[in-house]
Amino acid sequence: MLPTHDRYAYTRITRRPTYEWPDGKRLAFYVCTNIEYFALGAGDGALDNAVVGAKQTHRNYAWRDYGLRVGIWRQLELLQELGLPAAHNVNSLIYRFRPDIAEAIRARGDEIVAHGRTNSEHQDGMWEPDEARLIQEVTDTITSHEGKPPGGWMGPGLSETKVTPDLLQEAGYRYLMDWPADDQPFWMKTRQGRILSVPYSIELNDGPVIARRQHSAREFADMIVDQFDEMVRQSQAQPLVCSVVLHPFITGQPFRLGPLRQALTHCARHPMRDCVWYTTPGRIADYCYALPPGLITNG
């Protein structure tokens, strides 16, 4: 037998119950940045835009730190310019080392998604008690600064152990974004209940696209436009979720920010924007939890 799981069942997207997003919207669209703090010269972190597969060095650290010093501020300006809400996957060490970024997010009213302590540390390979302590530490840090616990989780590098969904559900999380299996939210089984999987793209994601596959900024911008246009069309038959995932040390670079601005402007000013719910993953999760049973698939 092949290794498998029982977290969710297989259901084809063309044979599911239909529903609408708030106010009859058809496509839920959100932008998500990744605000990550890294160790100097140590730990995990495969992305390196100068030398593919390079080890951690001062140069690699500085490239990533550019995102916190410059890139995220340019991206926040762009989101403000377009009137777009956003979610931000935030390493909890940001509160210690770059607290002004969390303050800016809070001032915008954006969502903070728990994203581990640091992206230099991945969960896979952790023993269950250690992972549980990590999740609790991250949750407590965000709660102490934001006045409420985060509702969603994105593991550093989308990393998980076999019990991560169980631990998240038991820690009070309502949704996770580590399973890029669908264009609709779906329920995942846990040992004490269920947790919602909210779509989070690793295709429309500047990390894999630009830093790993070496596509250009304009190619990435074209992908955003093509994905949005096609999903607007598809969503007339059933509700869908379109996410755009950004890393400020990548698309916060000036020569990449221009094409990104054009692509997001296309999405925000689209002729069919009245059909689009410009939102956050947390709001998507809240809406799904409030829907009548049976509309969100169990797989």
Per-residue pLDDT of the chain (299 residues; tens, 9 = 90+): 899 999 999 999 999 999 999 999 999 999 999 999 999 988 876 566 667 667 788 888 999 999 999 999 999 999 999 999 999 999 999 999 999 999 999 999 999 999 999 999 999 989 999 999 999 999 999 999 999 999 999 999 999 999 999 999 999 999 999 999 999 999 999 999 999 999 999 999 999 999 888 999 999 999 999 999 999 999 999 999 999 999 999 999 999 999 999 999 999 999 999 999 999 999 999 999 999 999 999 97
- Residue 201 sits at the vertex; the CA angle it makes with 208 and 153, to the nearest 5 degrees, is 105
| Dihedral Cα 126, 128, 132, 135, nearest 10 deg | 30
Integer Cα distance of 73 and 62 in angstroms: 16
Q: For residue 70, how far is the Cα from the chain centroid?
A: 20
What's the start-to-end Cα distance of the chain, in Å? 21
- Residue 150 sits at the vertex; the CA angle it makes with 145 and 153, to the nearest 5 degrees, is 130
Based on C-alpha coordinates, what's the Rg of the chain?
18
Answer whether 138's CB lies under 8 Å from 161's CB: no
Q: How many Cα atoms within 13 Å fall on the side-chain side of residue 167?
A: 22
**DSSP-based helix, strand, coil % in the chain, nearest 5:** 40, 15, 45
CATH number listed for the domain at residues 13-290: 3.20.20.370
How many CB atoms within 10 Å of residue 190? 18
Integer Cα distance of 276 and 281 in angstroms: 14
pTM higher than 0.85, yes or no? yes
| Dihedral Cα 69, 71, 72, 74, nearest 10 deg | 110
- In which element (H, E) is residue 242 found? strand 240-246
Closest Cα to residue 118, out of 5, 223, 34? 34
- The domains of the chain are located at 13-290
Q: What would the two tokens of residue 150 be?
A: 């985060």
Q: What pLDDT does residue 50 have?
A: 67
- For 39, residues 6+ apart whose C-beta sits below 8 A from its C-beta are 56, 61, 118, 120
